[in-house]
Structure 1
Amino acid sequence: MLTAQLVDHILTTIPGRTVGVLGDLFLDRYLDIDPALNEPSVETGLTAYQVVGVRSYPGAAGTVINNLAALGVGHIYPIACIGDDGEGYELRQALGKMPAVEQGGIFLSATRRTPTYTKPMLGKEELNRLDIKNRTPTPEDIQDRVIALLDEAWPRLDALLVLDQVSEEDCGVVTRKVRDHLAQLAERDPAKFVLADSREQIGLFRNVCAKPNEREICEAVDWCPWDEEREAQDKALALAHATGRHVFLTRGEKDIFLPTPWKREGTTEGSGATVVPTYPVSGPIDICGAGDSCSAGIASAMVSGLTHAQAAAFGNLVASITIQQIGVTGTAPPDLVRKRWNEVNK
């Protein structure tokens, strides 16, 4: 599906492209603890861990942004609401260090918190994570501003990646109202590539491509499959029919199952699926952020004029690079992409 010429075409095309990222921006904060400095708390008698370093990175939609920037996308436009708080300040600082990221679509709210995953690291051991999330519905005025920013950016976006990270319904950026408005935009402009990724609501998107994994598709699509052994594949086919767009069903180390949408309502005319294999990886792997790097690869290929199957293959290639970067959320800059392509085609 891919060739060296196509890989090079993607990498030389995307510096001139604009990709939007709509969704939940998290702060990933690591607290580096030195066990040798542990001391007892005078007040409680419990061990007081001593933090010797704080590392902050954009997470959730920020991981997608980081991967787009590393690949070389020329303009990246996030659309999100974060809290007017210290975590939001750290998040904007971290985004400001990335090339090509425009922060005009990120706005602050005094009524919302910046979602944050705080990860205490006791030496190399990760202790219990501390989560800050918004657990109340997103206010109407915030939803309206997200929609206004999306409308304003839409004409200049070559593609849009949607990341619905928050499990609690309508408590994040991509609420039902935002999702429905996106469906209207995509219906009016079917040539624009939009890819949605959602932990809990992937079955509710319409008129956009979807990228679920097997758990997400099985839990989100309320429909009895034709073949119980092929539950995920059959539900992906059903979702492609419902959305009218391709579905990129990621199946771990195996492949991407890529159903095509049915062309005529109520028939199977034109339907089918392509299986796009992953690239073999040896040695230890770290799958943290693999799905986000795959999404960035897919979008980069689509804005470069490749087919959906070729885009899936490029997404797999990018993910095969990032999962080999242990202990960090990996990225795939162009030199590593070309090197990896040469490795898999020896």
Structure 2
Amino acid sequence: MDTTEIKALFQRFAQLRVGVIGDFAVDLYYTIQTETGEHSLETGQDVFWGSHPRASLGAAGNVVQNLAALGVSHIQVIGCVGNDLFGREMQHLFATLKVNTQQLHVIAEDWDTCVYTKPNRAGLEANRIDFGTANTLSDQRFTELVADLEKSLPDLDVLIINQQFAHPLLSEKRVTSLNNLISRFPNVCFVADMRDVGMHVRESILKVNTAELASFLRIEHPDHPDLDWCVSQGNAFRQRSGGPLLITRGQAGILYIDQHGIQTIDGLALQGELDTVGAGDTVVATWAACLGSGATPKQALVVANLAAAVTVQKLAQTGTASLSEILALHHTYAVHD
């Protein structure tokens, strides 16, 4: 793709209508100092100092902020948030991005907003303190969410399905239930990123990394999976699932397999320190936006690969990629499809 083609594709993003359902979280970054010399007068315990707190959207929320960075202006979220301070921060972050949160259910009892804390100590991430890991969504509440989704799907071009947590919104049983709804809307582009239950999604493009692919197939993951391994195992997975498969290969690139064959793109030879946290979300958001806007799978691979390369160069943050950043990298590496 040349610069003109990429710009034309991004212009179509502004009219795209995207829904995101799944596990939403807040990423809380701060600096922590543990050797302070201060002790609590009440307990005698060491006192740590925190500074420079900042929050961003994580998990399915990172998919949302990546969509917004790409210029997608019609974004709707379907999920849950707690009635707590982190929940209010999540809603504030969504409001800043002008995201439709009418179907973000606020749960007052027995639900902590999911939070990944990212304490930085002397330049390294220290032990996290996470919230919301023990949440359990009732069947009644899930039924309400599916009813909301059913109402929304006629007005969506794309639905991104996310499963991130150990106790996810979308369990194995619930993915099966969701499949029945997906089959009724063939005009919607469905893209799923399912950390644990991807084997059960149907009639949707499934994004996996190589470790997830090996886990789903219950095979050993090689230290450095090459393209032949990815193709072989990707085809084995598709024999079970029947759906298209998007395989991210880290710095090696991305592979797409569907009923028409196999398409690949090599990763860019990036220099310097890299941070891969959230790069998969960037790929999912960019891939979905491209396909939903009429791009070919090959074109979507080119742009998603560039977007991920932008993201991984942003350190200590859940990064996003904008059109200007993607074009700058495209110019630097002279990428063509």
Number of the residue aligned with 1:308: 297
C-alpha distance after superposition, 1:50-80 (max 9, x if no partner): 2234322111011111110011002111111
Instruction: Give the match's secondary structure for 2:14.
Output: helix
Structure 1 segments of 4+ aligned residues over 6 angstroms from their partners? none
Question: Is residue 198 of structure 1 aligned with residue 198 of structure 2?
Answer: no
Q: Which amino acid aligns with 2:326?
A: V
Consecutive unaligned residues in structure 1, runs of 5 or more: 262-269
Question: Is residue 189 of structure 1 aligned with residue 182 of structure 2?
Answer: no
- The 5 A counterparts of 1:1-346 are 2-33=1-32, 39-98=38-97, 100-109=98-107, 110-135=109-134, 137-167=136-166, 171-222=167-218, 230-261=228-259, 272-345=261-334
Per-residue deviation at 1:34? 5.2
C-alpha distance after superposition, 1:75-100 (max 9, x if no partner): 111111122222211211222222x4
Q: TM-score, normalised by structure 1?
A: 0.88
Whole-Å separation in 1 of the counterparts to 2:173 and 2:154:
20
Whole-Å separation in 2 of the counterparts to 1:36 and 1:128:
15
Whole-Å separation in 1 of the counterparts to 2:161 and 2:271:
31
Q: Across the two proteins, how many residue pairs are aligned to each other? A: 330
Change beyond 3 A, Cα 1:142–1:134: farther
Q: Which amino acid aligns with 2:172?
A: R
Per-residue deviation at 1:326? 1.7
Change beyond 3 A, Cα 1:184–1:121: same
Task: Note if contact 2:205-2:244 (Cα within 8 Å) is conserved in structure 1.
Answer: yes
Whole-Å separation in 1 of the counterparts to 2:37 and 2:162:
39
Q: TM-score, normalised by structure 2?
A: 0.90
Instruction: Give the match's secondary structure for 2:254.
Output: strand
Change beyond 3 A, Cα 1:103–1:345: same
Higher mean C-alpha displacement, 73-82 vs 45-54 = 45-54
Per-residue deviation at 1:240? 2.9
Higher mean C-alpha displacement, 56-65 vs 234-243 = 234-243
Identity %: 28
Q: Which amino acid aligns with 2:198?
A: I
Q: Which amino acid aligns with 1:234?
A: S
Whole-Å separation in 2 of the counterparts to 1:252 and 1:48:
40
Consecutive unaligned residues in structure 2, runs of 5 or more: none
Task: Note if contact 1:9-1:304 (Cα within 8 Å) is conserved in structure 2.
Answer: no
Per-residue deviation at 1:175? 2.4
Task: Note if contact 1:143-1:175 (Cα within 8 Å) is conserved in structure 2.
Answer: no
